Every structure is written in structure tokens, then in C-alpha cells.
Amino acid sequence: MNIKITGSGSYIPTEIVCNKDFSNHEFLNDDGTPFPQSNEIITQKFKGITGIEERRYASNDLQTSDIATLAAKKAIENATIDPETLDYIIFAHNFGDVKKGAIQGDMLPSLASKLKHNLRIKNPKCVAYDMLFGCPGWVEGVIQATAFIKAGMAKKCLVIGAETLSRVTDPHDRDSMIYSDGAGATIIEATNDDGGILAHESATFAYDEANFLFFGKSFNTNHNPDVRYIKMHGRKIYEFALINVPQAMKECLDNSGIDINNLKKILIHQANEKMDEAIIQRFYKLYNKEVPQGIMPMSIHKLGNSSVATVPTLYDSLVKGEIENQELNKGDVIMFASVGAGMNVNAIVYKM
């Protein structure tokens, strides 16, 4: 028995927001003082560091559970399964359903229960729960689904990563330009096919690192201080990621028994292009190897950082041939890797 991804689907929101659309924003320092640079210079530097040119926002009528439903239906159809045969629905997100303009997130009932309701699944033994694990949530959901299947507790699981980060960003914070919305879904099954999940690695660093990403007030001191937005200590996250993500990737690859020369693609959380490139370089340096050309497919340039959705949407685009000059073939060995709030790090080695 092997455990494989037998179907995938994604929902990419329709609203395109370009860097120039931030030209009228009043960006401020964390103490409320204005930046000396113009917004044109700020956005130019932003693109140079993150690689982001555009990002997608969900339309006002859709919430996180809605876009997850659209992605899940595609994954179920792609896997050609009856949704009533699902044993688990694992829904990775961070902020619940957030209506446009609202100041509260809605997680009652859980988004997984909302999704199960939307899919009209009657089977009560299909257990639905939410995964709160920062940006690595979808990867961790796949790891949990694998554990359930290995333990004989499940045969089929639906794992979703979805987020509407555009609704929890401070318009006066430059970091707001990073975030975006999206949803990716996968069916994880026990099969007799070759390949599947070969190894995984997870870790939580919370002794000193727990609050590198946090909820904080607007940089605009005139705003209500009790309304909170996603905030981050970018330099600390960058330094943390460069040390801990390559090490987790190495431990995962070593445990899989796969030679690094046989690794075809690395699907890393689309957080920041420069950071992702540095992580991959550090990873290959651990093996005294040069980074192979084309090893790291990217979607961040047009889709931004949609947190838990970046890896499953990237995978879905890749397997469906939607990324230029990139492809996956049966038998290819790939790696999923992610880092995010918690601080959490994880990786999976997977054979197509």
C-alpha cells in the first residue's frame, strides 16, 4: 500500500491587484511616522525583494470556506471519487471566514464543517476539522492524513489550504502588499500504485520564535487599536527560515533514502522570492551541490503569498501543465516544504 495524491484542484480569485494599485496607500512605520520614500520607490524595492508583481483577492461575495469549496469540488472530480467515501476533511487556514469590511473572523462552526456542508456529504463518519498551523498548514494536513491512513483509520482524505489574507492586512503596512487569497485542495488515498509519500519532517519553534508573526494594531495611530491585523518581524523570519528550513528539508530527504541528484522539483511555500531562493541555496549547500536550474517552480510573481494555499495551488498548476517551462512526470521525486507562524517548519518527499 502506498499513499498518494490522487486528485487536486484550486481556486484562483478573479480580482487582480497590481503593485501600482498601492500608489495611493499611506505607508507608515510601526510608530506611525511616514516613510521618506515615495510609493513608487517603495513598490519597486518590494518587487525586487519579494518578486511579487500581482496578487489575487477574493471577490466580496466569497469567503474562505466558499473558495475552499470550489477547489475541493475540482479535486474530488479530478480524483473521480464519491465524496461520501471520504474519511477525513482536514481544512488548513489561519483566520476563518472574514467578511469584507468585518473586524471579526468566523470559525463557528469550523470551516471544515462548513465545507462538508457545502459538499452535501451525509456520511457522519467523515470527520471534518480545522488545521491551524500557519503557512505550513496544508503540508501538515497531508502529513496527518498520511498518519491516519497508515494507522488504518482512513482510506481517503480531503486536505485543503485556503485563505483570504487580503481581509486581515493593515493598509498602512508595507507588508500588506505580500498577502493574497486562494484555495488549493487534494485527495490523499491509499493506493496500489507505485510511489507516494516517502518521508516527512515537522517541527515547531516556539521558545523564542512564537511571535515572529502575530496580530497587532494598525500603524496608523488614528485607527481603532482594538482592530488587529496580521503583522510580522520580517528580518527575524528571514533569518529563522534560512537556518531551519534547509535543515528540515535535509532530514526529510535523508529519511526518504532518495539521492539529492534524483530530486526533480521543490515546491516551497511562496512567501518571498529572495527568501525562497536563499533557502534552496542553503539546502543544496548542505550536500555541497549547486542548485539545478528549474528546480523551484514559482507562482508568487502573479499570485502573491496566499499562506496555506500557495503549495497546493502550485502543485495543482504544475501537474496540470499550467506553469511555463515546468512539468512533472510519473516517477518524478519532488519535495514540499513550508515555513510559517508558530514558528512551524515542515517538509514531505513525494514520488509521483
User: What is the DSSP code string of 111-148?
Assistant: HHHHHHHHTT---TTSEEEEE--STTHHHHHHHHHHHH
Residue range 279-289, pLDDT digits in tens: 999 999 999 99
- Provide the pLDDT for residue 37: 86
Calculate mean pLDDT across residues 245-262.
97
How far is residue 94 from each of residues 15, 32, 163, 212, 303, measured CA to CA in Å? 21, 27, 7, 15, 18
Task: Inform me whether the pLDDT recorded for 103 exceeds 80.
Answer: no
**What is the C-alpha to C-alpha distance for residues 316 and 72, in angstroms, rounded to an integer?**
12
Task: Inform me whether the pLDDT recorded for 34 exceeds 90.
Answer: no
Task: Inform me whether the pLDDT recorded for 225 exceeds 90.
Answer: no
Calculate mean pLDDT across residues 241-245.
97
- Assign 28 a pLDDT band (cuts: 50, 70, 90): confident
Task: Inform me whether the pLDDT recorded for 212 exceeds 90.
Answer: yes
- Assign 1 a pLDDT band (cuts: 50, 70, 90): confident
- Provide the pLDDT for residue 18: 95
Q: Which CATH superfamily is domain 198-351 in?
A: Thiolase/Chalcone synthase (3.40.47.10)
- Provide the pLDDT for residue 25: 87
Calculate mean pLDDT across residues 96-112.
89
Stretch(es) of the chain classified as CATH 3.40.47.10? 2-192, 198-351
Domain 2-192 of CATH type 3.40.47.10: yes
How far is residue 294 from each of residues 49, 50, 222, measured CA to CA in Å? 19, 18, 47
Task: Inform me whether the pLDDT recorded for 73 exceeds 80.
Answer: yes
Task: Inform me whether the pLDDT recorded for 31 exceeds 90.
Answer: no
- Assign 137 a pLDDT band (cuts: 50, 70, 90): very high
Provide the mean pLDDT of the chain.
Answer: 95
- Assign 17 a pLDDT band (cuts: 50, 70, 90): very high
193 vs 84, residue with greater confidence? 84
- Provide the pLDDT for residue 63: 96
**What predicted TM-score, i.e. pTM, was given to this entire model?**
0.95
**89 touches 128 (CB < 8 A):** yes
- Provide the pLDDT for residue 129: 98
Looking at residue 288, its amino acid is N
**What is the C-alpha to C-alpha distance for residues 81 and 204, in angstroms, rounded to an integer?**
34
Here the cell at position 118 is: 457545502
Calculate mean pLDDT across residues 24-46.
87
Calculate mean pLDDT across residues 179-194.
96
Which residues are CB-neighbours of 15 under 8 A, at least 6 positions away? 56, 57, 58, 59
- Provide the pLDDT for residue 313: 98
Calculate mean pLDDT across residues 151-172.
96
Residue range 322-344, pLDDT digits in tens: 998 898 999 999 999 999 999 99
Report the share of the chain in percent with pLDDT over 90.
Answer: 84
